[in-house]
Structure 1
Amino acid sequence: MSAQPPTDQPDVSAPTSDGFVRGLSQFIGGPLGSHAVRPDARPGRFWTAPRLVLALTCLVLALSWVQKSPCMDGNWQKNVQYTRYCYTDVLALYYAEGLNEGKVPYVDHPVEYPVVTGYFMGALGLPVHWYGKDHPDINQGSWFYNANALVLSLLAVATAAIILALRRRRPWDAAIFALSPILLLTATINWDFLAIGMAAFGLWLWVKRKPVWAGIFLGLGAAAKLWPLFILGPILILALRTGRLRPFVSSFLATGVTWAVVNFPVFYWHHESWLRFFRLNSERPIDWGTFWYIGRYLDGKWASGNAGDQGPFQWLSNHIPTLNYVSYALFGLACLGILLLGMLAPRRPRLSQLVFLVVAAFLIFSKVWSQQYVLWLLPLIVLARPKWGVVIAWSIAEVGYLAAFYAELIGAGGKTVIPEGTFVLASTARIVTVGLMFVLVAREVWRPELDVVRQSYDGIDPEAGPLDGPEAPWVTRFRRAFGFGPSEEAPALPASSAPALTEPEHDRVG
């Protein structure tokens, strides 16, 4: 007699439901059989899939701490921070921002980050400095890094937990996040998990139908790094498709008020320090490894035999204000394309799909693409398109870029490690793989029958939140104006008060 999973458990997808993993499973006997009982589905078993994923996340973060350990003493001789891949802004800026001297962020020193990041730096850095004054035997930089690494790692674990909460039927999707080499190498390079954690909480609260609280966390995230503001655009697209703008307006206002409240003290009393972040980003030149950097390199190759010739990318590099406008314009056009895609798709897209597209477009066209920005995309691609194959290809490209980037930094000190063309090739591979993920996510928006998340939820959108329900009548008329048929009506999530549910009560995330 074949054993069946308990009827009170959600229909959880097995790891081998992913085509790439199913192919690899042939080396260990093939995919899970249709009548097999998964070990994590046995009643009373402690090591369930979510707990395994969270344990793996903790393990990878612990290994990340070990991987950064050669740099913790701050004695960065002979480029150890690059040759051992252990560089971190957290330790470097403890000294560069004057925290080791007891300087208060924004008050005594104009910090180059938005205010929540600056507050966080001060909240951990100043106590370390005060304690260090009375205990000169301790390494203040090491203590500061370890305190930051602990909090940032907790936010990374919280992000994994939120991915699990949003994918009760697909817990193994979160393993893509937990086991990523990107997480291993970049988790504590900077304070990006402040914004990522706040944005993740915001998405979860949106799905839980709490738009005001979602906006509060998005506002906090935007006050740490500006990119969580981009989540509001996709929410607006979905609100327009449903004709229900009130949840969007609630989140928008809560985001704006929260951002303004946390920024006000520095804006009002230390205005010049507050402007530092915006001026720096306006004046910054073309960054390593960006689309513009690649173009400038190709300009140089083209003009190498033509004295006095200057290509368009080199010209933009010499005229940064114009480059800013061009970059913003290209990002704006990409957002317009995402808007049309979201409106013309046969079925209302999932929120994470649109957010991934917007953030990916921003990075592709931005003049600045710091090494840790890759973390912005990691939880988003897990939610938008949880397929291992392309994510592994992207991860390889990102790790290759990181290696080439550190080699380039060593070369900037006068010791050539790799040819410039090799670095440009690694940069191109990174952009191409992000572009490939963009195309694949957009394809699944246009062809929702390919979306494995919808398949696992029987066509239901598990991220609809307060926008669950039928679409506005004008969407069909809009699609017909472009020559498309009526939009497909997706099954609606059951109302929280309804007694009849299409999935177990404890499995709902809406």
Structure 2
Amino acid sequence: MPPSFTEQPRSTERPPVAPTLTDRIARIASGLIGGPLGDHAVDPPRRRYWTPVRVILLTGLIAFAVNWLQKYPCAAGGWTDWSQYTNACYTDIRALWGAERLNEGAVPYRDHPVEYPVLTGWFMGILGQIAFRAGNVFGTDGGPIFYHLNAIVLFICGAAAIAILHKIREDNRRTDLPGPNPDPALVHSRPSRPWDAMMLAAAPVVLVTATVNWDLFAIALSMPFFLYWQRSRPIMAGLFLGLAVAAKFYALLFIGPLLVLALRQRKLLPALQTTAAAAVVWALINAPVAYFWRDSWMRFFELNSERPVDWGTGWYVLRGVTGWERLWDSEFVNDLYLVLFALSCIGIALLGCFAGRRSGVPGLRGIATADDLMPRLAQLCFLVVAAFLLFGKVWSQQYVLWLLPLAVLARPKWGAFLLWQAAELFYFFSFYGKMLQVSAEEEGRGIPEFLFLTAAASRWIMVAVMCALVVQEILIPRLDAVRRLPLRPKPAAPTPLPRGASGPAPAAAP
């Protein structure tokens, strides 16, 4: 008989999952450092200093350093001959130094409307004041100081996000168990997966998008939401969710999956506590700005409703392929987007409510992992945010950072992940080629439209493929690497008949 879970140790007492033994791409890549974990290796290794989290953070810091070098040609400003496009180093941080009047010492919202949620506005405002005053003291342009200050703080935010994701996967607790005090052996029945955080640290798009905008700030605030929810601390989860929404609105999309799974489990109170705490935190941050500078505060909401179809969205590709003129009408696209996104959310909600509704698996009764069939929160959050991007009319290049940690939490497998990353890089460089073609049209520079449409379509398709793979693993939980459920037992082979016999073998004599 298979052992019961009461006999199994906690996940923290078991060796962590070795990616080189469970993931084909990781196994191939390990050839660069000596190959997969061997039979005689000590697992886990007896490391004194180079623990998994330190190796992962070092990888992330190297990626951030490469991003810093990649954006360095644009840090000084004064872009000439479209250098921000030819070097693919454009960053909103440097561009908005002047556009938001930070170079004049302006305070966001009070002196100038800001197109970002309040917490991001405060972020840029505080660092803007430091850069402005430092520039006055040293008699130099504060723009480069502003960019480098932002880069340093954003890299700290990125490192924090990597460390928190590592902690989430190292612990890897279940949150789908009934009752207020579930069996600790069941809570820790999933394997420890600390190396999953390497996917975030080594993601190729981080090399080029980490400091395009302030998204790493919002991501660093959103990751503790998943950690504290996993640890059954709903108020703390709500606190960080409220902070994340106040920094970038995409985190608001996490509330739907949270409530759907809570309704399914009939444990609505913790989810409502999280939602209420998030609402209070968001209101406390936004209320002063909304009260004193209402018009500036409303700028973010007005801009999002007024913006036309942006470069590289699915609507842009559809318009380029079909020539459908109605897609130039932002109100028409708004209506289509709302309908398609609403239908997607309904489908994801139904998936969250009904997927995996089985009491057991034949041949596996008594094994607790057979009941680990409910969709995971990160899976549904990934699907909702991806649908928001797939059907939205704005899809900036740095929005890929929103999906990165969610993809790692939802589906920590390297194969499709790297193909998606390749498509994102293809789009990133094609975008700047297109911007060069539009800006320097008379000089015949840049890339043709069909190549840009191809790049944008490949990004759209790969995100859709990632969604399909996540849905597949929700419907077939044994494919989910996070759960690592046992495979279905194969039926026993029939007893071979004696040579020459035409019927069943005779029973043995008593």
TM over 0.5: yes
Q: Distance in 1 between matches of 2:339 and 2:278?
A: 24
Q: Distance in 1 between matches of 2:293 and 2:35?
A: 62
What residue is the counterpart of 2:327 in the other structure? 316
Q: Distance in 2 between matches of 1:220 and 1:201?
A: 10
SS at match of 1:141: helix
Q: Distance in 2 between matches of 1:394 and 1:208?
A: 31
1:49 aligned residue (20, 42, 52):
52
Unaligned runs of 5+ residues in structure 1 are 1-6, 301-310, 460-510
- Name the CA shift for 1:274/1:164 in 2 (closer, same or farther; >3 Å): same
Q: Distance in 2 between matches of 1:26 and 1:271?
A: 58
What residue is the counterpart of 1:22 in the other structure? 27
What residue is the counterpart of 1:105 in the other structure? 108
Query: How big is each residue's C-alpha offset from its partner over 1:295-325, in whole Å with a ceiling of 9 and x where there is no partner?
Result: 110122xxxxxxxxxx3xx21322x222212
Q: Distance in 2 between matches of 1:251 and 1:179?
A: 31
Alpha carbon RMSD of aligned pairs, Å? Answer: 1.7
Q: Distance in 2 between matches of 1:10 and 1:157?
A: 26
2:240 maps to 1:236: no
Q: Distance in 2 between matches of 1:30 and 1:61?
A: 27
2:345 maps to 1:335: yes
Letter in 2 for 1:11: P
What residue is the counterpart of 2:464 in the other structure? 435
Q: Distance in 2 between matches of 1:259 and 1:170?
A: 33
Q: Distance in 1 between matches of 2:143 and 2:113?
A: 20
Identify the range of structure 1 (11-20 vs 248-257) with the bigger mean alpha-carbon deviation.
11-20
What residue is the counterpart of 1:142 in the other structure? 144
Letter in 1 for 2:338: Y
Q: Give 1:75 deviation, angstroms.
A: 2.4
Q: Distance in 2 between matches of 1:105 and 1:283?
A: 21
| TM-score normalised over the length of structure 1 | 0.83
What residue is the counterpart of 1:33 in the other structure? 38
Q: Distance in 1 between matches of 2:137 and 2:196?
A: 48
Q: Is the 1:241–1:348 contact (alpha carbons within 8 Å) kept by the matching residues of 2?
A: no
Q: Give 1:343 deviation, angstroms.
A: 1.2
What residue is the counterpart of 1:160 in the other structure? 162
- Name the CA shift for 1:29/1:144 in 2 (closer, same or farther; >3 Å): closer
2:425 maps to 1:421: no
Unaligned runs of 5+ residues in structure 2 are 1-10, 171-191, 357-372, 488-510
What residue is the counterpart of 1:407 in the other structure? 433
1:375 aligned residue (384, 393, 401):
401
2:116 maps to 1:116: no
Q: Distance in 2 between matches of 1:352 and 1:226?
A: 17
- Percent identity (aligned): 47
Q: Give 1:151 deviation, angstroms.
A: 1.0
What residue is the counterpart of 1:11 in the other structure? 15
2:381 maps to 1:358: no
Letter in 2 for 1:333: L
Q: Give 1:79 deviation, angstroms.
A: 1.5
Aligned length: 436
- Name the CA shift for 1:8/1:284 in 2 (closer, same or farther; >3 Å): closer
Q: Give 1:30 deviation, angstroms.
A: 5.0
Q: Give 1:224 deviation, angstroms.
A: 1.1
Q: Distance in 2 between matches of 1:242 and 1:124?
A: 44
Query: How big is each residue's C-alpha offset from its partner over 1:348-386, in whole Å with a ceiling of 9 and x where there is no partner?
Result: 111111110110110000000001000001111111101
Q: Give 1:26 deviation, angstroms.
A: 6.0
What residue is the counterpart of 1:186 in the other structure? 209
- Name the CA shift for 1:283/1:124 in 2 (closer, same or farther; >3 Å): same
Q: Give 1:9 deviation, angstroms.
A: 4.6
Q: Distance in 2 between matches of 1:352 and 1:260?
A: 25
Q: Give 1:8 deviation, angstroms.
A: 7.8
Q: Distance in 1 between matches of 2:141 and 2:388?
A: 39
What residue is the counterpart of 2:223 in the other structure? 200
- Counterparts of residues 272-351 of structure 1 (less than 5 Å): 272-300=295-323, 311=324, 314-318=325-329, 320-346=330-356, 347-351=373-377
Q: Is the 2:162–2:200 contact (alpha carbons within 8 Å) kept by the matching residues of 1?
A: yes
| TM-score normalised over the length of structure 2 | 0.83
What residue is the counterpart of 2:286 in the other structure? 263
Q: Distance in 1 between matches of 2:436 and 2:455?
A: 16
Q: Distance in 1 between matches of 2:35 and 2:415?
A: 17
SS at match of 1:264: helix
SS at match of 1:181: coil
